[in-house]
C-alpha cells in the first residue's frame, strides 16, 4: 500500500503546473494502485500527458489529456489537503475552468 505523503514533480506548462504554480509538491496517498508503465509509451503517443511523476520518474502521479480543456486525474488524494477556506489548488483550478467555460471565456 502506498500510504502517506510523497513528492511529485510537475511538468512545466501542464494544467497541474498552472494550478499549483510550482514544479514540485507533496501529496498524500492511500491506495494500492499504480499506473502500468507497460503502456506508458503507447498512451503518451495517443494524447495522455504524464504531468506528475515521482522524483525517480518510476511512478505516474498525475495524468492529463492533450487537447482537453481540463482533464486531470491523480493517484493521490487532493481532498486530504483541502480545507473549507483553503481549497486544494486542483479543486480551485477545476472550478475556475468550469466557470470560464460556463461564461464562454
Residues in the chain where the model's pLDDT stays below 70: 105
Domains by residue range for the chain, with CATH: 2-102 (3.40.50.880)
pTM: 0.92
- pLDDT tens string 41-58: 999 999 999 999 999 999
Angle at 40 between CA 73 and CA 26, to 5 degrees: 45
Among 66, 67, 65, 62, CA closest to 78? 62
Amino acid at each position: 500500500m502506498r500510504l502517506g505523503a510523497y513528492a511529485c514533480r510537475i511538468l512545466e506548462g501542464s494544467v497541474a503546473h498552472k494550478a499549483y504554480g510550482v514544479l514540485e509538491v507533496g501529496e498524500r496517498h492511500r491506495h494500492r494502485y499504480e499506473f502500468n508503465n507497460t503502456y506508458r509509451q503507447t498512451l503518451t503517443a495517443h494524447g495522455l500527458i504524464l504531468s506528475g511523476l515521482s522524483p525517480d520518474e518510476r511512478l505516474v502521479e498525475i495524468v492529463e489529456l492533450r487537447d482537453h480543456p481540463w482533464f486531470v486525474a491523480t493517484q493521490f488524494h487532493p481532498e486530504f489537503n483541502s480545507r473549507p477556506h483553503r481549497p486544494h489548488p486542483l479543486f480551485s483550478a477545476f472550478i475556475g475552468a468550469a466557470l470560464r467555460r460556463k461564461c464562454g471565456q
